[in-house]
Amino acid sequence: MVKRGFLMLMLAIAVASCDDNNSPTAPADPNIVVFTAQLSAANEVPPITDEEKDARGNVRITVNLTRDASNNITGATYNFVVNLNSFPTDSTWTLAHIHEGAAGVAGPVRVNTGLNTTGGPAPIPLTTGSISNQTFSNASANAGLDPVAIVNSMIANPSGWYFNAHSTRHGSGVVRGQLVKQ
């Protein structure tokens, strides 16, 4: 009986010591926010219907926040890891960025990856129809925009934002996906 009581006491202590701070879904660093998006040519506005119609991919966007002494967000930088696949082998990836806009709406560009036809990394030929783990680091909100308002809006309403990539065939965008906060 004493042995059983001791085991019950130990079990109760073990359960009481568990808390949500060790949960794998709890953020490890409050200054890092991660978004993902599943990219598809069918999500573009209008949907892609030519030889790039099967194009798809995904993106992971890690946002590094800066805060003031009162814990208010004062800025953000964006790191992107992009995977694209199912493109024709003669496709070239020309641009990629975050837009403000709900699903089905073509919205304005707010954060560029830096990939572009002038002034940044050169367009990327997709000679195998795909690319894996293409990174772009330390991007920020476009000049002239309020970076704090942008990141706060993304955190509050990620589905009101999307990532898309452009190709030489589709200068307005070839694959797109709404952001999901992780």
CATH placement of domain 31-181 = 2.60.40
Contact 166, 172 (CB under 8 A): yes
Q: How much is the pLDDT for 27?
A: 55
Q: Are strands 32-40 and 180-181 parallel, antiparallel or unpaired?
A: antiparallel
Q: How much is the pLDDT for 6?
A: 46
DSSP letter (8 states) at residue 141: B
With vertex at residue 82, the alpha carbon angle to CA 175 and CA 46, rounded to the nearest 5 degrees, is 10
The tens digit of pLDDT for each residue in 4-41 reads 554 444 444 444 444 444 445 555 799 999 999 999 99
Question: HSE-up of 47 (CA within 13 Å, CB side)?
Answer: 7
Q: Where are the domains of the chain?
A: 31-181
Q: How much is the pLDDT for 20?
A: 46
The tens digit of pLDDT for each residue in 101-126 reads 999 999 999 999 988 756 667 899 99
Radius of gyration, CA atoms only, the chain: 21
Q: How much is the pLDDT for 111?
A: 96
